[in-house]
């Protein structure tokens, strides 16, 4: 089992947003596992890495909050309420990532699985 640190997981997740890649899976497999192998020699397979993301959920939330607190207050804010399909609810019980923290509900758009942001 690969030994990747939480700081390495956070670094990979943060760098993705600056990388220009539109698909995280392609970014991880093409860039992290190949081109950045010298920087992340203990990087696990993509599927195992996805399972490890839950370990850094709290530090990532704290980092996001601190970043927002330090951002310039302009008085103009945007909220994107677009639904992002993650998984088919028929297969929801098979998913292990965030199994303890995710909840399901129903809206006018149908059934969904979500993490609470409050």
Of 81, 57, 92, nearest in space to 105 by CA = 92
Pairing relationship of beta strands 103-107 and 110-114 according to DSSP bridges: antiparallel
Query: pTM (2 decimals)?
Result: 0.62
- HSE value, Cβ hemisphere, 13 Å, CA-based, for 62: 5
Q: Tokens 């929801």 label which residue?
A: 92
The 10s digit of each residue's pLDDT in 29-87 is 999 999 999 999 999 999 999 999 999 999 999 998 998 888 888 888 777 666 666 66
Q: What average pLDDT does the structure give for the chain?
A: 83
């Amino acid at each position: 089992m690969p030994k990747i640190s939480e700081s390495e997981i956070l670094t990979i997740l943060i760098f993705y947003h600056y990388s220009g890649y539109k698909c995280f899976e392609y970014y991880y497999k093409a860039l992290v596992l190949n081109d950045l192998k010298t920087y992340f020699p203990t990087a696990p397979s993509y599927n195992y890495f996805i399972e490890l993301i839950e370990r850094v959920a709290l530090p990532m939330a704290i980092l996001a909050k601190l970043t927002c607190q330090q951002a310039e207050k302009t008085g103009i804010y945007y909220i994107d309420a677009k639904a992002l399909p993650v998984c088919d609810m028929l297969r929801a019980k098979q998913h292990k990532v965030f199994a303890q923290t995710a909840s399901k509900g129903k809206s006018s758009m149908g059934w969904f699985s979500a993490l609470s942001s409050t």
